Amino acid sequence: MTTLTLTNLAKRYSRSVWGVRSMSLDVKDKEFVVFLGPSGCGKTTCMRMIAGLETVTRGRIILKGQDITDLPPKDRGVSMVFQNYAIWPHMNVYDNIAFALRLKNVDRKELNQRVKKVAQMVRIEPLLKRFPGQMSGGQQQRVALARALAVEPRLFLMDEPLSNLDAKLRVSMRTELKTIHQESGATSIFVTHDQSEAMSMADRIVIMKDGEIVQTGTPEEVYFQSANTFVAGFIGTPPANFFPVEWKNGKLEHPRFQLSPPPALHQAIENHGKNRLILGVRPESIQVVREEEALFIAPVLVVEPQGSHQIVAVQVEDEVVKLIMPPACGVQPGELLPLTFDSTRLHLFDEESQLRIPGY
């Protein structure tokens, strides 16, 4: 069942400045959707239009069958958690959570039950008498989440709520947020520019660029079936490596190598009918092999230890190419590595349009 429908949604700030150019999207009941993209792509503007904090230039917003495009924020049944939490510093935790419920004239008994329920859900029940200034950033974030959940919204919006936390707490709060989402049964939209957050939390990712949706899909779909070079170069740590290639005599030719693709990809290239392509290869799909098996040999520039693995940067023509190796691989800068590609994990894009070629 669909909870939210956006139809040709757009926001124009001036004659030449668009916040969102056109967005059409269906969000399913209890789904956790992440809006992902670089700064300025329109993801927060879209969320603010859904919340009623920005007027809509064009398009409609339908929430559970009701057109809420022109409704004031208080009548939409939407709760939003902001980047800076926006909790009241002069109120204790209990009163912060209860504030919106009192505005809705919820009776005292139900109000108390709801406050305690959400406090328990976000694990701040022992902190109900504390004030925000007496709590850490992570605890304040939980208060903001509890306050938003207490009104039992039809839609739960989160605008980069983890961005003010330290790196370790951000990672742990990803799990907490997904757990809270599942326990509350809410339909959630989460905005971030951090693709690691999106990949680890989302049921579906909506990737945006220049005010428009570039691709929508599960984390696996956007990673393994990237719609274009922008998505392939944005998703992944490190992102995909790109090689300009030419299709000649059944092979992909690069100045440093010739590659024979597997049959399905071979047929897709033939059907595409263009010779100039861009080959995308994920870092984990580049393999170190024996010299006689190598597609090409490249010098190591930098080794970046990551604990569980190492990111190794090599020079291929004028490009820096990154691959992933085991933590104790013993590779040193200046060393020559014989490399090949996992042919089952290749991405191919049209050079002109930058779009993924269809059929594989």
Query: How many residues comprise the chain?
Result: 360
pLDDT score recorded for residue 176: 82
The full set of domain ranges for the chain reads 2-233, 241-350
- Long-range CB contacts (within 8 A, 24+) of 90-95: 90/131, 91/131, 92/128, 92/129, 92/130, 92/131, 93/119, 93/124, 93/127, 93/128, 93/129, 93/130, 93/131, 93/132, 93/135, 93/143, 93/146, 94/119, 94/128, 94/129
pLDDT band at 54 (very low <50, low <70, confident <90, very high): very high
Q: Is the pLDDT of residue 71 over 90?
A: yes
pLDDT band at 177 (very low <50, low <70, confident <90, very high): confident
Which pLDDT tens digit goes with each residue over 114-168? 999 999 888 899 999 999 999 888 888 889 888 888 888 899 999 988 887 777 8
Residues 6+ apart with CB under 8 A from 212: 20, 21, 22, 23, 42
CA-based R_g, the chain, Å: 24
pLDDT score recorded for residue 60: 98
pLDDT score recorded for residue 174: 86
pLDDT band at 169 (very low <50, low <70, confident <90, very high): confident
Please count the other Cβ atoms lying within 10 Å of the Cβ belonging to residue 263.
9
Residue ranges of alpha helices (H) inside the chain are 43-51, 93-103, 108-121, 137-150, 167-184, 195-201, 219-224, 229-234, 263-272
pLDDT score recorded for residue 175: 86
Supply the angle between the helices 167-184 and 108-121 in degrees, to the nearest 10: 130
d(CA 181, CA 91): 26
**Token couple for 46:** 């879209």
pLDDT score recorded for residue 259: 95
Q: Is the pLDDT of residue 90 over 80?
A: yes
Average pLDDT over residues 271-299: 96
Average pLDDT over residues 308-330: 93
Average pLDDT over residues 16-25: 94
- Please tell me the pTM assigned to this model: 0.90
**Fold classified for 2-233:** Rossmann fold (3.40.50)
Average pLDDT over residues 79-106: 88
Q: Which residue has the higher pLDDT, 133 or 242?
A: 242
Average pLDDT over residues 229-250: 95
d(CA 116, CA 58): 41
Q: Which CATH architecture has domain 241-350?
A: Beta Barrel (2.40)
Which pLDDT tens digit goes with each residue over 178-215? 888 888 888 999 999 999 999 999 999 999 999 999 99
Average pLDDT over residues 217-223: 97
